[in-house]
Amino acid sequence: MSKPLAGKIAVVAGGTRGAGRAIAVSLGEAGATVYVTGRSVRSRLSDIGRRETIDETAEMIEARGGKAFPVRVDHTVESEVVALFERVKQEQGRLDILVNDIWGGESLIDWTKPFWEHSLENGLRVQERAVRTHMVTSYYGVQLMIPRKQGLIIEITDGVNYDYRGNLYYSLAKISNIHLAQAMAADLKPHGIAAVSLTPGFLRSEEMLEYFEVTEANWQEGAKKDPNFIASETPYYIGRALVALASDPDVLEKTGGSYSTWGLSEVYDFTDLDGSRPHWGRHFAEHVAKA
């Protein structure tokens, strides 16, 4: 298998499950040495009730011939973020790829309530977990890129525009991720470092498979519960999109942009695991927006 990222050093912040896990695994398969961070380790799960751990993610990378280091980091604690990058600097002396996929808002969003009836405390915690953590992580991570005048920061988000996403607190977090990439790109371009945002489509994550009571083997059955599920994609689709971006020698030309898995699949010619090319943007326009 081709190793286009051989010799590269990556940090995937929020690599416990879903898109973050698949991104970490994909980077490892492509040859990068991957530091996988998150709050869930076998000896200490996070507070959101999921069983996945960064230990498992690292084992998946190594099972595919990659090299990985699981590092427990609560990215809301600045000192732990500092310690992470001090370790990367000591062990590797560089950082090439930083992926911000920290979320942790699953149990905090109430989709049934307008913002003034929603828990303000939970809404602000979403910003703490999904925006402030990205800012802190980028602040310290980019300092390992500046001296070499090269690197790539990718903000994982939901959507490619500033449209409302069904809940004020969710919208604010995801749109903030897009603008973080745009604003960082403006500061970093003179230093040869690219920053972009990247969104999946309807993500067929572990949590979604459980919600639809299906497995990856029979996932199409989930369309009986929600017909839009037929246009879903595996988390590895965004993993492959990210590898394509990170492997592009001209990625700086894309800095500041907001990209999607389906859009990049047309640029870089990659597919999902089953060889299909899901296009959530087209499906949304034809079946969701018109509904």
Active site residues: 170
Tell me whether strands 258-260 and 33-38 are parallel, antiparallel or unpaired: unpaired
CB crowding 88-108: b at 16 or more within 10 Å, else e:
beeebeebbbbbbbbbbbeeb
Tally the residues of the chain.
291
CA distance readout (Å), 73 to 13, 35, 41, 138, 261: 8, 11, 10, 14, 27
Question: What's the CA angle centered on 49, arms 45 and 52, to 5 degrees?
Answer: 55
How far is residue 68's CA from residue 290's CA, in Å, rounded to a whole number? 44
Q: In what helix (H) or strand (E) does residue 72 lie, and over which residues does it extend?
A: strand 67-72
Q: Is the dihedral of CA 201, 207, 212, 218 positive or negative?
A: positive
Query: Residue 270, class by beta-carbon neighbours within 10 Å (0-12 exposed, 13-18 middle, 19+ buried)?
Result: middle
For helices 168-188 and 133-141, angle between their N-to-C axes, nearest 10 degrees: 20
How far is residue 127's CA from residue 121's CA, in Å, rounded to a whole number? 10
Longest CA pairwise span in the chain (Å): 54
Annotate 116-163 with three-state secondary structure: CCCCHHHHHHHHHHHHHHHHHHHHHHHHHCHHHCCEEEEEECCCCCCC
Instruction: Please enumerate, as own/partner, the contacts of 216-221 that have beta carbons within 8 Å and a separation of 24 or more.
Output: none
